[in-house]
Amino acid sequence: MAGRLGVPLKLLLLLLLLTLDSSQALRICSFNVLSFGEAKIGNSRAMDVIVKVISRCDIMLLMEIKDSQNIICPTLTKMLNGKSRKGTKDYNCIISNRLGRKAYKEQYAFLYRENVVSVKKSYHYHDAQDGDEDVFSREPFVVWFHSPKTAVRDFVIIPLHTTPETSVREIDELFDVYMDVKRRWKPENFIFMGDFNAGCSYVPKKSWKDIRLRMDPKFVWLIADNVDTTVKESTKCAYDRIVVQGQKINSSIVPDSAKTFDFRKAYRLTEEEALRISDHFPVEFELQPGESFTNFVRSFVPQKKRGRKKSQRG
């Protein structure tokens, strides 16, 4: 009896471990939350959906934060960690300065699970190159993350929320940010993501040739031009994008993991209800777990026994 149960139990254990293996992947997300300020914080229904969306992710970039009172990060971390087990602190937050040319300001924020990733370094890109000053409406807030449990352990995220009318120039300028980060830190793996407004009339087909991040083949665009990242049924535009650079990170992406997350469908919202939260869907992708965990899982896979070769008599 014990011998008969051995194989099914081993297969059951294998399925469990494979499930754990997929759960060890690191999910990285980007979400432009429409006009995220005090009014939205006061909307309990909207905040409940936003927290649910963030809690799916190990790293979440939030954009369009309008927070002169500095309450977004504390509020979100409190809500997210309140849903965690007692005594644990899953999420932390790092947020940029208030960015913008005049009175109108926005911030970038990263919510991240402290038990899987940590922040090594960060800085605000200085948008003041000679002859090419002040290209960005909101200059990137560059963050270097360390992820000890994934195949690629160190990567830099460069966020961007463009002004629609200047999208082509701003996306192109990300190449200069890339070069600046390489000079400063010498990292090997890069992620560019955010609301690039990189679709429809803002970036017509004829303009792609003017964007270095697109024309250089070492930059891989994970969200394709035909993907609809907008909530409205009347629009179909690939505004939100994820771009990676680096051999290690490119080979560590979980196949077919780059996609939008339709929170409207997931949480059964009407279009009107969804638009109160955002007119954009989040975009996301996953990084594979590290070799140590993968090898541990593979060690449970039954190996085929090799039969002994029969000796041939002359």
CATH number, position 91 = 3.60.10.10
Amino acid at 253: I
Confidence at residue 294, expressed as pLDDT on a 0 to 100 scale: 47
State how far the Cα of 214 lies from the Cα of 170, in Å rounded to an integer.
Answer: 13
Confidence at residue 23, expressed as pLDDT on a 0 to 100 scale: 60
Residue 288 resides in a domain = yes
Tokens of 117: 């990733």
| Residue 280 falls in the annotated catalytic set | no
**Is 59 within 8 Å of 93 (Cβ atoms)?**
no
> What residues make up the domain containing 74?
23-298
Confidence at residue 10, expressed as pLDDT on a 0 to 100 scale: 52
Residue 80 resides in a domain = yes
Instruction: Check whether 80 has a pLDDT greater than 90.
Output: yes
Q: How would you label 195-210 residue by residue, b for 16+ Cβ within 10 Å and e otherwise?
A: bbbbbeebbeeebbee
Residue 241 resides in a domain = yes
Tokens of 260: 């939008």
Residue 310 resides in a domain = no
- Helices (DSSP H) in the chain: which residue ranges? 2-23, 38-41, 44-55, 72-82, 167-185, 212-215, 247-251, 263-266, 271-275, 291-298
212-224 pLDDT tens trace: 999 999 999 999 9
Model confidence, pTM: 0.86
Helix (H, G, I), strand (E, B) or coil at 72: helix
Confidence of residue 127 (pLDDT cuts 50, 70, 90): confident
- Would you give the DSSP letter of residue 166? G
Nearest to 166 by CA among 130, 138, 189: 138
Residue 11 resides in a domain = no
Confidence at residue 62, expressed as pLDDT on a 0 to 100 scale: 98
What value does the mean pLDDT take over residues 144-165? 97
| Residue 161 falls in the annotated catalytic set | yes
228-261 pLDDT tens trace: 999 999 999 999 999 999 999 999 999 999 999 9
- Which of 97-106, 209-218, 226-235 has the lowest average pLDDT? 97-106
Q: Count of domains in the chain?
A: 1
Confidence at residue 82, expressed as pLDDT on a 0 to 100 scale: 86
Residue 312 resides in a domain = no
Residue 303 resides in a domain = no
Confidence at residue 306, expressed as pLDDT on a 0 to 100 scale: 46
- Would you give the DSSP letter of residue 302? P
Catalytic pick among 64, 106, 139, 170: 106
Catalytic pick among 64, 139, 161, 284: 161
Collect all residues with Cβ–Cβ distance below 8 Å to 199 and sequence separation of at least 6: 225, 229, 237, 238, 239
State how far the Cα of 116 lies from the Cα of 14, in Å rounded to an integer.
Answer: 24
Helix (H, G, I), strand (E, B) or coil at 217: coil
Residue 229 resides in a domain = yes
Helix (H, G, I), strand (E, B) or coil at 123: strand
Confidence at residue 4, expressed as pLDDT on a 0 to 100 scale: 47
Nearest to 159 by CA among 72, 76, 59: 59
State how far the Cα of 50 lies from the Cα of 304, in Å rounded to an integer.
Answer: 48
Tell me how long the chain is. 314
